[in-house]
Amino acid sequence: DVKVTQSSRYLVKRTGEKVFLECVQDMDHENMFWYRQDPGLGLRLIYFSYDVKMKEKGDIPEGYSVSREKKERFSLILESASTNQTSMYLCASSPPATESLTYGYTFGSGTRLTVV
Amino acid sequence: DQQVKQNSPSLSVQEGRISILNCDYTNSMFDYFLWYKKYPAEGPTFLISISSIKDKNEDGRFTVFLNKSAKHLSLHIVPSQPGDSAVYFCAARRRNNFNKFYFGSGTKLNVKP
């Protein structure tokens, strides 16, 4: 069974802390994505990566950075956590565009981050 | 500005009846559309897709319709079952854009027994 695994289901962090969210996929997918889900706003793309060490900004990259040192792992970093970053964070992966037309992304179960 | 919109935050339907979830988009460069289903505390799971060269795709109880002239797609679930109760997201991909999808805000479907 193919999987995208997010290291934590729930996290509580203090304002100003540096926060690391980890995501690992076992499908040998080239593309990996970080989204946040907020009520009424749906899923918004923070960053994505289409290859090792490659990254692209999504729609809301401010306050975040990412790291992709290995193909299977994509990390989201909150440089200095703030209360408006309290959200559900979802990691996803997919093969290259030409291969993924039938099913899109595979998502992880999400990390509920609360910043206090 | 959201390029994919789901204007109904919630929908309630009786078991056995049809559920119709709607989605509108603004970008004519979108070439592929998907619907995802999400249960609480789980990640979204793929449900059904449609290419922009088609106007209908059917998979069991689920059918997606695409009206390109209106920039509108809909998901029909017939018959609806209580296990279909979830949040449904539509998503659209812009041609030649690293397989990046734009998501709507979701519609919470409640199927009453």
% residues pLDDT > 90 (chain A): 75
CATH of the domain at B51: 2.60.40.10
pLDDT attached to residue A52 = 93
What pairs with residue B111 in β-bridges? B13
Instruction: Identify the residue with better confidence: A29 or A14.
Output: A14
**Do A109 and B98 count as a contact with CB atoms less than 8 A apart?**
no
Task: Give the pLDDT score at A40.
Answer: 83
Is the pLDDT at A70 greater than 80, yes or no? yes
CATH number for A13: 2.60.40.10
Q: Which residue has the tokens 């017939």?
A: B78
DSSP secondary structure, B8-71, as one string: -SEEEEETTS-EEEEEEE--TTEEEEEEEEE-TTS--EEEEEEETT-SEEEETTEEEEEETTTT
User: How far is A22 from B37, CA to CA, in rounded Å?
Assistant: 23
| Domains: count for chain B | 1
Of A44, A50, A92, the CB nearest to B98: A50
Tell me the C-alpha distance between A81 and A40, whole Å: 22
Convert the pLDDT of each residue in A71-110 to its tens digit.
999 999 999 999 999 999 999 998 876 655 666 789 999 9
Residue B55 lies in domain: 4-112
Output the CA torsion sign for A98, A101, A103, A105.
Answer: positive
How close is the nearest chain A Cα to the Cα of B40, in Å? Answer: 10
Query: Which B positions 1-60 lie with beta carbon below 8 A of chain A?
Result: 2, 4, 6, 9, 32, 34, 36, 41-46, 49, 51
Of the residues B101, B102, B107, B108, the best mutation for testing chain A's interface (the one with the most A CB atoms within 10 Å of its CB) is B101
Q: Which residues of A touch B27 (CB under 8 A)?
A: none
At A96 the pLDDT is 75
Q: Domain range spanning residue A28?
A: 4-115
If one counts the domains in chain A, the total is 1
More confident position, B99 or A46: A46
pLDDT in tens, B79-97: 999 999 999 999 998 876 6
Residue B91: closest CA among B39, B26, B23: B23
Residue A25: alpha-carbon gap to chain centroid: 12
* Tokens, residue B44: 């979204």
Structure tokens at A46: 């923070």
pLDDT (tens, 9 = 90+) of chain B, 113 residues, equals 679 999 999 999 999 999 999 999 999 989 899 999 999 878 899 999 999 999 999 999 999 999 999 999 999 999 999 999 999 999 998 876 667 889 999 999 999 99
Using the structure block, give the residue that is written with the tokens 């919630």. B10
Q: How many CB contacts within 8 angstroms connect chain A with chain B?
A: 69
